Amino acid sequence: LLNISKTVVAHGWEVDFCVKYSELPREVIAGLAEAGVRYHTFPQLSFFAGVLNRRSLLYTNSQGNTSPLIWSTAGRRRKGFHHCHTACSPAEMESWVPRYKKFIGAGPLLVACSRATKANIFTLGPDREVTVMPYLTTTVVNAMGSEHRDTRAKAERQLGKWNFGFVGRLDASKGIDVIIEASRHEACADVNWHFFGDGPEAEKIRSVGGANLIWHGAFDRSTPLEEIYGGLDAVVLPSRHAEGSPLCLIEALSFGRPWIASNRGGISELACSAGDHLVIDVDDKQRFVDAVVNLKKRLAAGEVKQDTIRDFYRANYSPEAVTARWMGLLEEVWSEFPGKASCLA
């Protein structure tokens, strides 16, 4: 959302970024201001002025009562859309309040982060107008080929070892136990497993020990992605959670990296090829080990085509490609009101 807001401003629009509850760091807020984004928090008067401005395009993304309330106040003629940025899986829908379920079933235009999300939405509203838009990941703009900066990767190279990495929050739902169990398997003895991120499963990684389990700790937006992905041969995401469109897999594509991930949510839509991006059922842990073995063979034989993966990324998920799609959507929704507009979050 931060990327979208800054990009929209750069294309000549005015943006009021309205947040009900915010934990954004000061430097992030300062970055919004520097980009020309107007930032408002509840209960500032400017928050209400922005949200209730009917001469602007309205964007919402919260899952709860707030988004339906804002749209009911906005009126039927208000232009804009609601962004479904998760998988919207059946399990996820069980936690939704009734008003939000009704809103998704019959409300404004919906934007889904994946085709899988769109399909799930149709279970609540089969006749809904839903468009699919990828995440705008401007953080990977310099993450391809010769454009890499010469920085030392945290995943150090060791002779005779492959570097496979997990990038993200270390939650049990992400399948951390699947990786730990694979690390003990004889077929994976030549793999170093790198964990970038923090969370409740970090202590489990530390307590298991072993030279091939390497936890690098938390990272933030200031961490160069080259230091994460630059030293990895492959990325793994054996998630049991229905993912919308995992950012770590998109970032891996930008570096030309293969990956192994669970067949949950919109993950399969990010696969460039069946050989380089293995989508499996992680409930069978042996299948994960087998996938690791198969991917190692492809890497050793030089069969992983990094240029092909990067081309797939550039065409579908690069900032240039995704920006064009988002700006096209905004212009289409706004077409009845010529001139500059405000895109509200």
Half-sphere exposure of 272 (CA within 13 A, CB side): 25
Identify the pLDDT of residue 242: 87
**Measured distance CA(244)–CA(314) in Å, rounded:** 20
**Measured distance CA(310)–CA(276) in Å, rounded:** 12
Calculate the CA 170 to chain-centre distance.
15
Identify the pLDDT of residue 148: 39
> How far is CA 273 from each of CA 149, 277, 278, 309, rounded to the nearest angstrom?
27, 6, 8, 8
Report residue 84: phi and psi, to 5°: -95, 100
Residues 109 and 131: beta-carbon distance below 8 Å: yes
The one-letter amino acid code at 338 reads: P
Report residue 241: phi and psi, to 5°: -90, 140
Spatial CA neighbour of 88 closest among 316, 209, 241: 241
Helix (H, G, I), strand (E, B) or coil at 51: helix
Pairing between strand 109-112 and 343-344? unpaired
Identify the pLDDT of residue 337: 55
Calculate the CA 205 to chain-centre distance.
24
**Measured distance CA(220)–CA(201) in Å, rounded:** 18
Identify the pLDDT of residue 213: 92
Residue listed under structure tokens 């906005």 = 74
Cβ count within 10 A of residue 162: 19
Divide the 345 residues of the chain into consecutive groups of 10 and give the mean pLDDT of each group: 92 94 89 95 93 91 94 88 95 95 94 96 93 80 40 68 96 94 95 95 85 88 86 96 91 96 94 93 91 97 95 94 95 71 53
Identify the pLDDT of residue 74: 86
Cβ count within 10 A of residue 220: 8
DSSP secondary structure of 247-310 = HHHHHHHHTT--EEEES-TTGGGG-S-TTTEEEE-TTSHHHHHHHHHHHHHHHHTT---HHHHH
Residues in the chain: 345
Identify the pLDDT of residue 143: 40
Residue listed under structure tokens 């919906």 = 110
Scored b (16 or more CB within 10 A) or e, 293-327 reads eebbebeeeeebbeeebbbbbeebbbbeebbeebb
